[in-house]
Structures are given as structure tokens and as C-alpha cells.
Structure 1
Amino acid sequence: MDDSTQPLLTTKAKDKHHETKTPPSTTAVFTAAAPDMDPITSPKEFLKQFVFESKMLWYLAGPAIFSFVSKYSLGAVTQIFAGHFSTIDLAAVSVENSLIAGFSFGLMLGMGSALETLCGQAVGAGKVDMLGIYMQRSWVILFSMTFPLCFIYIFAGTILKLIGQTTQISEAAGTFALWMIPQLFAYALNFPVAKFLQAQSKVIVIAVISGVAMVLHPVFSWLLMVKFGWGLVGAAVVLNGSWWFIVVAQLGYVFSGKCGVAWNGFSFEAFRNLWGFFRLSMASAVMLCLETWYFMALILFAGYLENAEVSVDAFSICMNILGWTIMVSFGMNVAISVRISNELGATHPRTARFSLVVAVITSVFVGLLLALVLILSRDKYPAFFTNDTEVADLVRDLTPLLALCVVINNVQPVLSGVAIGAGWQTVVAYVNITCYYLFGIPVGLILGYKINLGVKGIWCGMMSGTILQTCVLLVMIYKTNWNTEASLAEDRIRNWGGGQEVSETNIENI
């Protein structure tokens, strides 16, 4: 590794072939030049390594959680202000955020996640100069996807009518979607640069920028929507502006030279090997979108039950709570993805495997803690969301399922993060299709409709799909030869560096 790249990783980097048997340093910053960890031979050594690895994970997960919450809050704040104008304005913003923008967000985030594999492993191998090429390649792919996605925004009103929304809500949401097209292009720039920075453990920068956006967003929302009376136009201007502020600030940091040799300017190398890169990006998108759409289907199926309004309202409250808790698991997803890809890139199979163990144990503990809070407050928290006693009673009855779902959904994203870090996106996409859509949904529909268990049956059936998927991923991880994965990481870095053509065999390995 060139000396100029060392400040990007740690100030205490050692020679890669050094024989020191202790952890490379006490810093939480990844050390590419350190040796792989020794086998653990005692409980004391396990605890010592556990504490050290926890520092590494939370250094990444903490700012990532804050960033996810900040960005998640932008749409929520806009909905709150829209609700002060009319129910139609609130419905328009809510529907556009959850369906139109939500679909595009999931697809773009998934495609951008390909960089978590490639950039993370390149950093681990000390090939930091490749990161800029990868990011530019991802920009090319994501921008090419924005143009077909624009048609969803343009014809949003018609699409919403076709899926059963009322004419009034569809037309209002369709108009708002047209104003939100600039946000789509912000997504295309944001996710690649965010993954580019995450791979280098520059998560504090992302958190600070997201935090500033979260503070400014309600101020400008009040100014334009309330003070100037712009209504939905003001909502669109501020929401677009907040996302573009995040993008421009992150790009300003990258272009300022703070990333060293990771950014060497624009290059025509970004247009090489685009087909293989597109395949990996689409595999990442399918893997993540299948998980997101699976839980969106819960509310859709609840709408076909008897007393659908109560079922949908109760489900929406549960999903809202689940959404906030998932922000924690998303942060751990980012952390373990970066850790796995960094360590595999550095040819540290034992460290990669131990990082997975620590992440799973930590996520189970956090999930159990959140579930306990829900169980203890089950008689009180529904009142914060609804005054309808029937809805509140159903939410109370669903709380044990919600608590179990919180635990499962704190572990499952960690396993997905391992898959992204190791480059298993294509395999996991097939696993998701089988477990979620060929098993979970049919079981949920049978329990909910045929056996007449209603909303609980639908949720239990679909949770069985999540549990099956989690078990399959655990088996895959248990059977994984991490030495082989480390050697595959070297192949990925060599083939995706832009200097060679990628053979069909190596593409299949990716």
C-alpha cells in the first residue's frame, strides 16, 4: 500500500506481514496493514476481542443510524407540515413518499449497495485508488435508471388510480410526484458517494451533513409552506432542496481532496465493464427491494380483510414503529457490510467471521431490549397514535408479534449486510424470492383468509418467511469457507479495477 493512502485508514498502520499477535491498535479505525486475528483459545481472549470488535462496529453503526434517522425524518417532517393544510395534501405527500419515492429510493439504494462490496474490499486490500472509478461507474448505472423511473413520476396519478387509490388523492399525489423528480436525480448521486465514504469509514462526515439537513429542513418547511403559504409547492421545493444539499455537501467533501488518492478526478475508466457492474448492481437492488416490498405487502393484504379500515390503521401503526427500530438495524447492516468487505479485502478471514459473530450477538441484544420496551408499554403506547379504541385494542393484541418482528428484523439485516460485504447478492436474491414470495406470502394468505385468523394470520405467515430466510442465511454463513471468500475478494478487486476485461467465469463468481 502506498504511503499516501495510509492516513485514509489509520495513523498506526503496521506492515502487512508483521507477526504481532495482538490487536493492531485500540483505535476503531480499520487497519488494512494489520495481520489477521489469532484463533481465540479462552473466554478472556474472546471478551477482549469482543470489546475491540464492538468498538469497530459501533464506530460505523452509530453515525450510520443517525444518518438513516435524519434522512428518514425529512419525509416525515414534510408530511407533518402538509397535514396542517388539508387531509388531501397530507394524503398526497404520504402516498408519494411511501409508494412513488419509496419505490425509487429502494431501487437506487439497492443498486448503490454494489459499492459496499467493491469499495469495501478495495479499501481492505489497500487499493484505495480504485474507489473513485467504482463510484463513477455506479453514477453511470444509476443515472441510466433515472430516465425510465421518471415515467413512474410522470404517470404517477394514472398508476395510483390503477392500484385503487381515489381519484382526488391520485391526482394530488400525481402532481406532487411531478414536482419531486429532482429528488430522483439526487438519489442517483447520493447513494454511490455515501457508499464511497462509508467504505473508507468516513461515516462521521455523512452523519454531520445529514444532521444539518435535518435541522434546516423544518425551518425552511415552515418558512415556505406556512409563512409564505406555498403549500405543496413549498413542500416539494424544501424536500428537493434538502436532498440536494446532502448530495452537494458530500460531493464538496470528496472534491476538496479530503479523500486522498481515493478520488483522482473523473476518468473514462468509469465506462469500462459496465455490463458486469450493472449485473451486480441489479442483484443488490433485487435483494434489498424484495425485502422492502415484502413488508409493504402486509398493509396491502390487510386492506382486503373484513373491517379493513381498522386492520390497515393498526398495521400502519405497527409498521411505523417497526420502521423506526429498523433504522438501528440498518446502521448495523452498514457497519457489518463495511467490516466484512474490508477484512476480506485485507485477506483476514478469521477477523471477518468474528466480526459477524459480534454483530449478530449485538443485534440480538438490541432487538430483545427494544422488544421488552414494547411489551412493557403495550397498554400505553397505542394511545400516542390513535384515539380509536378498536384500533388501539388491535395494536395491543399485535404487540407480541411486533416485538418478535423487531428481534428478527434486528438480526436479518446483519446477515444481509454480510451478504453485501461478501458479494453474495445474486444468491441471496434467489433466497429472498423463495422464502418470502413462494413460502411466506402463500402461508400468510392461507392463515389469514382460509383459516380465518385475519390480520394475525397474515403477519404470522409472512414472518415465517422471514424466519426461514434468516435460517437459510445462517446455514450459508456457517458453511462458508472464509479463506475462499478472501481469495475471491482479490479476484473482484483485480477484475473491477478497470485495467482488465472481466472474464465470464469471474463475473459469475462476483
Structure 2
Amino acid sequence: MPESHQFTHSARSRRSSIVVGSYRSSFFDPQDNLLHRTERRPSSSSVLVTGFVDPDLLNEEVSLLRDNNINLPASVEHHGAFYGAVREDDAAATDVADAWETSVAAHKVVTSTRREFYVLATSAFPLIVTFLLQNSLTMASVFSVGHIGSQELSGVTLASLTASITCIAAIQGLATCLDTLCPEAYGSGNLRLVGVYFQRCTALILTAYVPVALLWWIYAERALVYIVPETEVAILSARYLRVISLGMPGYIFFETGKRFLQAQGIFNASTSVLFVVAPLNILLNYTLVWSPAFGIGYIGAPVAVAISYWAMAIGLLVFTVTTKSAINPLKCWGGFSLDECFRKWSVLFGLALPGVVMIEAEFLAFECLTLMASHLGSANLAAQSIIATLTSLGYQIPFSVSVASATRTANFIGSGMPQSAAKTVSVSILFGVAISIANVALFYFGRGFIPHLFTNDSEVAQIVKDLLPLIAVLEFFDALATVSGGCLRGEGMQKIGSWLNLAGYYLIGIPLVVLFTFRWGWGLYGLWVGILIGLALIGSLLVWFAVTANMNELVARARSRNENSV
């Protein structure tokens, strides 16, 4: 799969590669229309010295300059496209860098709608595959254990739900700070700072994970007994949690590592790793659960997941170190520093905590629907499981676009290009509308056959069929909310998303769900009508805040963050 180049300045990359022991960053200051250059001394080690400029970077800048009808020097026109290793003292490369910085300083460079559609689409495609493969790890456990017995299936389901609420969602929420910080640092030319942010965020999440792991080992069984009446199910769930706790550090390294690479435009690394790990996980599930020679039954499922989490982390590390890509990810690695890992966490907390609230609020809201559906009878609960699966699958495409748009937006903001950042946000929203229309059409026109893909029960299939037109409308607003939420992460405005999610789901959505479902007797239909109203409000407001953000102010804020984090 081709890598999607993530934008930054070739001039800045060139300077950082030839100055030993220090690095330069250039940024456009909207206050006085001057291009400032500042030199700072890194706190631990120097950036990687390569002596070469990324050819993809040069070609991207040449294309943008031409898109904006800016005349290029004759050396560039005669050179044509850049391929392979380009020396930092190459005349054409130097002329591109000079023309680029002059044009950025004069506000002459703005990306185009067509370019942003192309970049977002090519970036999002590998992410869609990544998320689907990543979700398959837990699904493999459900399928392998489900054939042992009903209690074992209930145990792995409860354990997966508990792990998602208490740990995985929190890890993903804390890691969202890197969706803002790493692309901003990369866009500003502070290449070493990208690696520093990765180290700090990883250390932060690992530190936060320690008490969670201890709670799983010591109190999981006693706590789960209060959730489910069957003691055996609680015991099985607690055993599952204890085992996968050993693999969670690997999951943390994978989540922060893939964001370290995505900030540099490398979106296919995690996909390549999961193409290997996902089949390995299936093989491990069979071998450890069912194999006559090595099978250990139920406990083999969490062992397979724990091994797979570490395999994901190791695979990403191997990719980073060995890749021959022109986008050399090691240029953003200035070396490991234990002191750097535990410094200036306040910058991370300001973005990470709203990210946790934003993700946890949405996740818990949809889990509440399943818990409420359990009081509506077995047919409604089965239908709810199918609807939840369909909405989860439909969510993967807009979520992939949201990750790509967050990276692209933050990179432009870090580069001091507010107009291009605004263009990316607008195109991302349009992309979200296109995706939502596609999802609406699929669920509405496919309501006759989709239910039968999941069940042979005619009653359950009819309930799903009746609900799918409503779910089609929900998918429209879900796509808008997801993509615009990604834009807000790129803009460093996660706090707005967290407050909107809390208000939309818990002050409006869930209360309406209870009213429609249990007070007015609308059944399963009431569940989704209530959550739809809350999601419609969330999606509409998220779009408004993302589009109307003051990009010049965000550029100045990003510059301040990068300066204070050195």
C-alpha cells in the first residue's frame, strides 16, 4: 500500500539534518507577517544526521507552488520530479526550499480541494483496514471460546467489555494528544520533538495503566460479581482480565507508535503489521484453545490476545527501524531519554484528558443501550447485538477519515499555514458528508437482506429490518460527528468535543432513551430514537466549532506549545 506523504517543509527538514547538536524550526507568525527562525539546543541528544532531503517532500512543495501559480526557478523546472536520495546541497532542492519559505511567508501558498480529497482518501484507506484487523483480535476470542460453552462465552464478552471501558478506551483517549502534538511538531520542523512527545505520552499511559492492572489482578472478581449474578462468569472474566493485562503494555506501545508514524505521513505501517498479526492471532486461538497438543481451553484465548498485542508493538518497531521508505521515520527519533519521558506532562494532560472524556463518553453511551436492551427480551437483545455490530462497522470508515484529517490539520497548523488548515477541515467535513450518504444508502436500501446475514430467526430479522431506516439517519450524523471530532483533535480543541459528548449523550440522549423506551413503551425503537437526537445535536455542533475555529490563533497556540515543550 502506498504511503501518504504528510506535509511539512523540506527546508526545515534539510536544516535539521545538517546541523549537529541543534535543530532549526521555521514558522510563520501571523502577527507581524515575518518568517522567524529560532535555534534551540535539544535536551538529550541531537537529531539524526542524514545529509539528504525527502524527495516526496520536495515534490509535494513543488506541486503546491504550481497549484498556486507561483513561478519556480529554472533549476527546478529543468530538474523535473525528484526521485531517490536528494542531497541537501542540491541546487534544485535549495531553490525549492527558498521559493517555499518566501511564498509561505507571503501567504501565497494554499492547498487545493482536489489535493486534500486525494490525500485524505489515500491516508484513510490503510487505516480502515487497520481498524478492521485490530477489531478482529477480540472477535477471534469470542468465536473460539463461544464453542466451549455459554458461560465461557459470557465470561469473555464481559471481560472484553470491562477491558474496553476501564482500559482500552482510556489508552486511546490519552493517546489522542499525539494526534495534535506530533503533527504540529512535524509541521513546524521540530523533528526531534515528535520523538519526545512519543516518549512522554508512552510513559504517561504506562504510569496510568499500573493501578488499572493492579485492580484487575486484585479486585476484578469481587467487582464483577456485582455486575453479573453468575459467580462462575465473574471468575472466568477475572481470569481473562488478569492474562491480557500482561499484554496491555504492548498495546500501549502500538497505539503511541502508530501515531508517531502517522504524524510523518506513514499510515500503512500499522496495516502491514496487522496483516501478519491478525492471522497469527487466529492461529494462536486455535492452537491454545482447541489444539489437542497445545490447547489449554478457555484461558488460551486471552493468552493469544496478550501475545498478539506484543507482536503488534514489536512488528511496528521492526517496521520503523528497517523500512527503506524515503520518509525515514528515524529522522524524528533523537534517542531515548528517561529524563525526557517524565518532563512537562502538563502539555499532554491539557489535550489527553479531554480526549479520554470524549471517547469514554461515547463508548459508555452505546454500551448503556445494550444494557437497557437486555430488559426488553431475548429477541430485542439479539436485534440490538446486530444493530450494534452494524453501527460499529459503519463507524470504521469515518473514524479512519477523522484520524487522517486530524493529522493533516495539525500538520498545517504546525507549519504556520492557517488557510490550508481551514481548507483541510472543510474538505474533511465534505468527505464526512459523502461517507454518511453512502452509509445511509447502504442501510436503507439493504434493509431487506442485511438482517439475514446475521440471523435465521425471522422475528429478530424483522426487528432489525424495521430499525435500519432509523439507523441510516443515525449513520449520517455519526459520520459528521466522527470526522469533525477528528478535525477538532487536529486543531487542539479536544475539550470542546469532550463537553459536547457529555452534554449530548448524558443530558439529552440517555434521558430521552429512558423516556421513549420505558416510559412511553417504544421498545428498541425508543433506544435508537433517543440516542439519534443526542448524536444529531453533537454532530451539528462539532461541525460548527471545527469550521469556525480561528486558525491564526491556533497557529500561535501550536507554536507556543512546541516552544514550551522543548
Same fold (TM over 0.5): yes
Aligned to 1:501: none
Q: Please state how far the C-alpha of 1:330 moved relative to its aligned partner.
A: 1.6
Q: 2:363 maps to what in 1?
A: 292
> Relative to structure 1, is the Cα distance of residues 17 and 178 closer, same or farther in structure 2, using a 3 angstrom cutoff?
closer
**Deviation of the 1:256 alpha carbon:** 5.2
Return the match for 1:50 from 113, 119, 138.
Answer: 113
User: How much is the aligned-residue C-alpha RMSD, in angstroms?
Assistant: 2.7
Partner of 1:260: 330
Between the aligned partners of 1:326 and 1:433, the Cα distance in structure 2 is 19
For this pair of structures, how many residues does the alignment match? 485
For 2:63 and 2:454, how far apart are their aligned partners in 1? 55
| Residue 71, structure 1, aligned to residue 107, structure 2 | no
Q: Residue 429 of structure 1 aligns with which residue? A: 498
Which residue in the other structure is 1:452 paired with?
Answer: 521
What do the CA deviations read for 1:231-289 (whole angstroms, capped 9, x no partner)?
A: 22221222111111110121233455842331111122222112342343222111221
CA distance in 2, matches of 1:26, 1:52: 17
1:432-462 per-position Cα deviation (integer Å, ceiling 9, x unaligned): 2122111221122122222222221222112
Quote the residue 1:233 is aligned against: 299
Q: Answer with 51-60 or 118-127: which moved more.
A: 51-60
Deviates more, 1:50-59 or 1:18-27: 18-27
Cα-to-partner distance string for 1:266-316 (whole Å, 9 max, x where unaligned):
122222112342343222111221122111111122223xx4322222111
372, 380, 391: which one aligns with 2:449: 380
Separation in structure 2 between the aligned mates of residue 377 and residue 407 of structure 1, nearest angstrom: 16
The CA distance in 2 between the partners of 1:17 and 1:375, in whole Å, is: 40
Aligned mate of 2:253, from 183, 189, 197: 189
CA distance in structure 1 between the aligned counterparts of 2:306 and 2:549, rounded to whole angstroms: 43
In the TM superposition, 1:337-356 aligns within 5 A as 337-356=406-425
Q: 1:465 pairs with 531, 534, 538, which one?
A: 534
CA distance in 2, matches of 1:334, 1:141: 21
Q: 2:188 aligns with which of 119, 125, 136?
A: 125
Residue type of the partner of 1:455?
L
Q: Give the letter aligned to residue 332 of structure 2.
A: A
Change (3 A) 1:8 1:340: farther
* Cα offset, 1:143, TM superposition: 0.7
1:163 matches 2:215: no
> CA distance change for structure 1 residues 401 and 221 in 2, over 3 Å: closer, same or farther?
same
Q: 1:138 to 1:408 in 2, by over 3 A?
A: same
Structure 1 residues 22 and 316, CA, compared in 2 at 3 Å: closer, same or farther? Answer: farther
What residue in structure 2 maps to residue 180 of structure 1?
Answer: 244
Amino acid paired to 1:121 = E
Deviation (angstroms), 1:477: 2.6
Give, in angstroms, the shift of residue 392 of structure 1: 1.6
- The whole-number CA distance in structure 1 between the counterparts of 2:490 and 2:365 is 22
How much does 1:324 deviate?
Answer: 1.2
One of 162, 169, 175 as aligned partner of 1:106: 169
Q: Is the 8 A contact 1:96 1:173 kept in 2?
A: yes
1:398-413 matched pairs, under 5 angstroms: 398-413=467-482
Cross-structure match for 2:122: 59
CA distance in 2, matches of 1:97, 1:469: 27
Give the 3 Å change call, closer, same or farther, for CA 8–104 of structure 1 in structure 2: farther
Q: How does 1:276-291 map to 2 (within 5 A)?
A: 276-291=347-362
2:152 equivalent to 1:86? no
CA distance in 2, matches of 1:219, 1:53: 40
Corresponding residue to 2:507 among 394, 417, 438: 438
Structure 2 stretches lacking a partner, 5+ long: 1-11, 18-49, 73-79, 83-95
- Residue 369 of structure 1 deviates from its aligned partner by 1.6
Report deviation, 1:109: 0.5
Query: Distance between the aligned counterparts of 1:362 and 1:165, measured in 2?
Result: 46
Q: Which residue of 1 aligns with 2:273?
A: 209
Cα distance in 1, alignment partners of residues 494 and 513 from structure 2: 26
How far the C-alpha of 1:194 sits from its partner, in A, is 1.3
Alignment match, 2:543: 474
Alpha-carbon offset, residue 375 of structure 1 = 1.9
The whole-number CA distance in structure 2 between the counterparts of 1:230 and 1:299 is 31
Q: CA deviation at 1:18?
A: 7.2
Q: Is 1:12 paired with 2:69?
A: no
Cα distance in structure 2, aligned partners of 1:435 and 1:416:
14
Residue 502 of structure 1 corresponds to none
Q: How far, CA to CA, are the matches of 2:533 and 2:365 in structure 1?
A: 12
- Equivalent pair of 2:140/2:282 in contact (CA under 8 Å): yes
Give me the whole-angstrom Cα distance separating, in 1, the residues matched to 2:276 and 2:536: 38
For residues 140 and 535 of structure 2, the distance between their equivalents in structure 1, rounded to whole angstroms, comes to 31
Contact 2:251–2:312 (8 Å) recurs in 1: no
For residues 223 and 461 of structure 2, what CA distance do their matches in structure 1 show? 32
Distance 1:445 1:333 in 2: 31
User: Is 1:487 the equivalent of 2:556?
Assistant: yes
Report Cα offsets for 1:29-54 as digits up to 9, x if no partner: xx9967568699xxxxxxx9332211
Identify the match of residue 415 of structure 1 among 458, 480, 484.
484
Q: Measure the CA separation in 2 of the matches of 1:333 and 1:482.
A: 18
* 1:297-343 deviations in Å (ceiling 9; x for gaps): 11122223xx4322222111101111111111221111010011011
The residue that corresponds to 2:26 in the other structure is none
Among candidates 368, 386, 393, match of residue 462 of structure 2: 393
Distance 1:281 1:361 in 2: 27
Change beyond 3 A, Cα 1:14–1:8: closer
2:158 aligned with 1:95, yes or no? yes
Deviation at 1:61, TM superposition (A): 0.7
Q: Give, in angstroms, the shift of residue 208 of structure 1.
A: 0.4
1:12-42 deviations in Å (ceiling 9; x for gaps): 3659997972499999xxx9967568699xx
Q: How much has 1:400 moved relative to structure 2?
A: 1.0
Return the offset for 1:8: 8.8
Q: Rate the CA distance shift 1:187–1:175 in 2: closer, same or farther, 3 A.
A: same
Identity of aligned residues (%): 24
Report the structure number with the largest CA radius of gyration. Answer: 2
Equivalent residue of 2:546, what SS?
A: helix
Separation (CA, whole Å) in 2 of partners of 1:76 and 1:170: 20
The alpha-carbon distance between structure 1 residues 70 and 364, as it changes in their structure 2 partners (threshold 3 A), is same
